[in-house]
Chains A and B, each alone.
Chain A
Amino acid sequence: MNNIQKKIWLLAVVVLVIMASIWMSLTFYNQKMQNQYNNILERYLVMNELTRTSQEMVTALNNYLLTPIAENLDSIDRSKNQIQKMKDEVANFKNAENELALTSYINLIDSLIETTDRSLVFHSEDGTESAMEALNEATFISNYISEMTLTIIDTELKTYDRFYRAIINQSEELNQLGIWMLLLITFLLLLYTYWFSLRITKPVEQLTQAASELSKGRFDLKIAVDSKDEIAFLAKMFEHMRNNINNLILEIQKKAQLENELQQSKLLLKESQLRSLQSQINPHFLFNTLNTVSKKAYLEGSEETSDLLVSVAGLLRYNLKHLDKTMTLYHEVNVLQQYINIQKARFTDRLTFHTEIDEGCLHIEIPGLTLQPIVENAMIYAVEPNEEGGVISFRVKDEGDRVIVEVEDDGPGMAEDKIQQIIDEEQEHDTMVGHASGIGLSNVVKRLRLFYGCENVIKIEAKIGNGTKVSIHILKKRGDDQDDKGITR
Chain B
Amino acid sequence: MRKFTYFVTAIISVILFYFTFESVVDVYRANWQLPNETDQESLNNRLVLITQELDTPFWDKVSAGAKKQAEKEGATLEVWGSYGNNQENFLKQIELAIYSKMGGIIVQGLDTDEFKELTKVKAASYGIPIITVAHDVPSSESLRKTYVGSNQHLAGELIATQLIDDMGTQGEVILMLDSRKEFYQEQRLKGIQEYLKKFPKIELIETTTENTREQGIALTKDILNRHPNVDAFIAVNSNFTEDIIEEIERRSKIGPYYIYSFDDNRASLSLLKQGKLDGMIEQSPHRMGERSVMLMMEWLNNDTVPLYLDGYLTDIRMVKALDIQ
Contacts and interface: CB of A to CB of B under 8 A. Distances in A.
Interface in B1-36: 9, 12-13, 16-17, 19-20, 22-24, 26-27, 30-36
Contact of B33 (A104, A140, A162, A173): A162
**Residue of A100, A176, A188, A191 ringed by the most chain B CB atoms within 10 A:** A100
Interface in A142-199: 144, 148, 159-160, 162-163, 166-167, 169-170, 173-174, 176-177, 180-181, 183-184, 187-188, 191
B38 interface: yes
Contacts of B36: 95-97
B35 A96 contact: yes
Interface in B24-76: 24, 26-27, 30-38, 40, 42-43, 46, 76
Contact of A166 (B16, B30, B78, B96): B30
A103 B43 contact: yes
Contacts of A229: none
Contacts of A36: 32
A94 interface: yes
Say whether chain A's binding surface is mostly helix, strand, loop, or mixed. helix
Say whether chain B's binding surface is mostly helix, strand, loop, or mixed. helix
A286 B283 CA distance: 176
Nearest to B122: A137
Given A107-B101, A177-B23, A144 B96 contact: yes
B102 interface: yes
Interface residues of A, number: 40
Contacts of A56: none
B31 to A, nearest CB: 7
Contacts of A183: 16, 20
A145 B24 CA distance: 45
Contacts of B38: 94-96, 99
A163 B31 CA distance: 9
Contacts of A167: 32
B99 interface: yes
Nearest to B96: A144
Contact of A95 (B22, B26, B37, B76): B37
A29 B32 CA distance: 12
B126 to A, nearest CB: 8
A333 interface: no
Nearest to A94: B38
A144 B27 CA distance: 43
Interface residues of B, number: 34
Contacts of A159: 35
Given A100-B46, A111-B99, A177 B34 contact: no
A180 to B, nearest CB: 4
A177 B100 contact: no
B203 interface: no
A108 interface: yes
B172 interface: no
B186 interface: no
Contacts of A163: 32-35
A148 B36 CA distance: 22
Given A99-B42, A108-B99, A140-B95, A191 B13 contact: yes
8 A-B pairs with least C-beta separation: A104-B100, A95-B35, A107-B101, A96-B36, A177-B23, A184-B16, A170-B30, A180-B20
8 contacts: A96-B35, A96-B36, A96-B38, A107-B100, A159-B35, A160-B35, A181-B20, A188-B13
Given A95-B34, A107-B101, 20 more contacts: A94-B40, A96-B35, A96-B38, A99-B42, A99-B43, A100-B78, A103-B43, A104-B96, A111-B100, A111-B101, A163-B32, A163-B33, A163-B35, A166-B32, A169-B30, A170-B32, A173-B26, A173-B27, A176-B23, A187-B16
